[in-house]
Amino acid sequence: MKSARCLAFSLGLNGLLLALCLYRAFEMRQHEAFVSEMTNRTIRAIPEPSTAGESLPTSHPEMIQCFHWSQIESEDYRVYAANLRALGCPEATVRDIIVADVNEFYCRRVNELVAPVQSRFWELMANQEQFQKLVDEKGKELDALNMQRKTLLRELLGTENDHSRADELANLEAREASKEFLDFLAPVKFEQCLELEQQFDAARREVANRQPPLAQNDLQAKLKQLQENQEHELNQLLAPDEMAEYKLRKSGFANLRDRLPGFQATEDELKQLVQIQQEFSVTNVFGQQQQRERMKDLLGPERFTQFERAQNPQYQEFYEVAERFEVPSQTIAEAYEMRKVAEEEAGKVRRDKGISPENRVAMLRAIHIEIGRSLETTLGAQAFAIYHSRSGQWLDQLGGSH
């Protein structure tokens, strides 16, 4: 009797354990299917059919057996980021993965926000008042989402990572520009000076972006202080002639080198031109005349004319177009001179009271036709057509009698 009861209990236990085994096996199969699709994205785009050659992993093939991405994914971004870091994933890559993932998540939230009004596109476009109301309403929700996203990214990546890739790129470009700026220094000083530049640039950015923002006066004072500190440090680092060169390059007049289309000058001439401009920066008419004389002495009369012409907006209009069509500089200068002559002629005709209205009209039309034809021949038909459409208003007015 006792054996019979034991057998019955044992058989019962058999059934229970079998059921448990079957249940676990079923659950595991379900889970494996789920894991193979596992990602912390809930909606995924259909993967692009890859045209890339199927290259096989070449290093550490054993890892394929021992690790699967799904092991680090989590519903919780903090865990996901921590898991990536625990694996030794570089911080920049953690950032790339998390930022893209979080952005995608919030894009889906935006889609949910907009979905109810997608079918009302035409109705809303035809009723701008209603549309504006909707934009204001949804705009608030979007702002809230944006704020949430930024907060989450800060929490996950830290505030030191709170800058965009565009900012990083801008910093790189600024560094390259600094290299060009400091190219007059020997390698050791170059490096030291570059470091100093970057250090003070960072300090200036920090002051400018301080939260809460500094009052305008305080900001100016801080920036001025930084400028003085930088100059002090530079004075320690650079020899007097190097410091003079540094200051000349930093001068606001140094951008003259970017404002002389078609005008070639030596390094020495350009530096002297900037120095002269700097010298007469705050001046009167008399001073301006002196400045011109100094420049003329430096360049000689012919090249001084070229120098002045290069800065003339009317010449630059010709230059911008003609240069694209590879018209020689000399030809561009000729076109500019043609304009000057034509305008002078037209002015004379207009001012001459002895000419009858009929004759005046005829003479102005003749000038108009002649200059148009000459410019077309000089610049070429295509360049002239573009010049005419961009800057040819003076040409159209030339033929008017009034």
Q: Which amino acid is at 42?
A: T
* Cβ atoms < 10 Å from Cβ of 26: 10
Residue 262 sits in the site that holds another protein (CB under 8 A): yes
* Residue 140 CB, nearest approach to another protein (Å): 12
Residue range at the interface with another protein (CB under 8 A); choices 19-27, 197-205, 276-284, 366-374: 19-27
* List 178, 329, 331, 378, residue binding another protein (CB under 8 A): 329
* Cβ atoms < 10 Å from Cβ of 383: 23
The residue written with tokens 């005709």 in the block is 349
Q: What number of chain residues touch another protein (CB under 8 A)? A: 148
Closest to another protein by CB, 88 or 240: 88
Residue 107 sits in the site that holds another protein (CB under 8 A): yes
Q: For another protein, what does the binding mask look like between residues 217 and 256, x meaning CB under 8 A?
A: --------------------------------x------x
| Separation between Cα atoms, residue 137 and residue 127, nearest integer Å | 16
Residue range at the interface with another protein (CB under 8 A); choices 53-61, 284-292, 332-340, 369-377: 53-61
User: Which parts of 254-396 are beta strand (E)?
Assistant: none
Closest to another protein by CB, 167 or 228: 167
Find out whether 321 and 390 touch, Cβ atoms under 8 Å.
yes
Residue 7 sits in the site that holds another protein (CB under 8 A): yes
* Residue 114 CB, nearest approach to another protein (Å): 4
Residue 10 sits in the site that holds another protein (CB under 8 A): yes
* Residue 225 CB, nearest approach to another protein (Å): 28
* List 33, 60, 159, 160, residue binding another protein (CB under 8 A): 60
Closest to another protein by CB, 47 or 354: 47
Find the binding residues for another protein in span 332-391 (CB under 8 A): 357-358, 361, 382, 386, 390
Residue range at the interface with another protein (CB under 8 A); choices 166-174, 285-293, 330-338, 339-347: 166-174
| Separation between Cα atoms, residue 368 and residue 398, nearest integer Å | 6
* List 165, 224, 232, 250, residue binding another protein (CB under 8 A): 165
Residue 324 sits in the site that holds another protein (CB under 8 A): yes
Q: The tokens of 227 are what? A: 């400028």
Closest to another protein by CB, 111 or 283: 111
CA atoms within 13 A on the CB side of 353: 0
Count of all residues that appear for the chain in the document:
402
Closest to another protein by CB, 149 or 292: 149
Whose CA is closest to 315, among 332, 330, 303, 331? 332
| Separation between Cα atoms, residue 198 and residue 204, nearest integer Å | 10
Closest to another protein by CB, 92 or 221: 92
Find the binding residues for another protein in span 69-88 (CB under 8 A): 69-79, 82-84, 86-88
Residue 142 sits in the site that holds another protein (CB under 8 A): yes
Find the binding residues for another protein in span 21-50 (CB under 8 A): 21, 24-25, 27-28, 31, 35-36, 38-50
Give the CA-trace dihedral at 326, 331, 336, 339, to 10 degrees: -110
| Separation between Cα atoms, residue 85 and residue 230, nearest integer Å | 38
Closest to another protein by CB, 3 or 217: 3
Residue 151 sits in the site that holds another protein (CB under 8 A): yes
Q: Which amino acid is at 5?
A: R
Closest to another protein by CB, 222 or 271: 271
Q: The tokens of 114 are what? A: 């907009």
Find the binding residues for another protein in span 268-307 (CB under 8 A): 270-271
* List 157, 223, 260, 338, residue binding another protein (CB under 8 A): 260
* Nearby residues of 339 by Cβ (< 8 Å), 6 or more positions away: 314, 318, 371, 375, 394
| Separation between Cα atoms, residue 359 and residue 374, nearest integer Å | 22
Whose CA is closest to 365, among 399, 401, 342? 399
* Nearby residues of 72 by Cβ (< 8 Å), 6 or more positions away: 80, 83, 84, 86, 87
* Residue 389 CB, nearest approach to another protein (Å): 9
User: Is 153 exposed, middle or buried (CB count within 10 Å of its CB: 0-12, 13-18, 19+)?
Assistant: buried
Residue 20 sits in the site that holds another protein (CB under 8 A): yes
Closest to another protein by CB, 242 or 323: 323
| Separation between Cα atoms, residue 89 and residue 69, nearest integer Å | 12
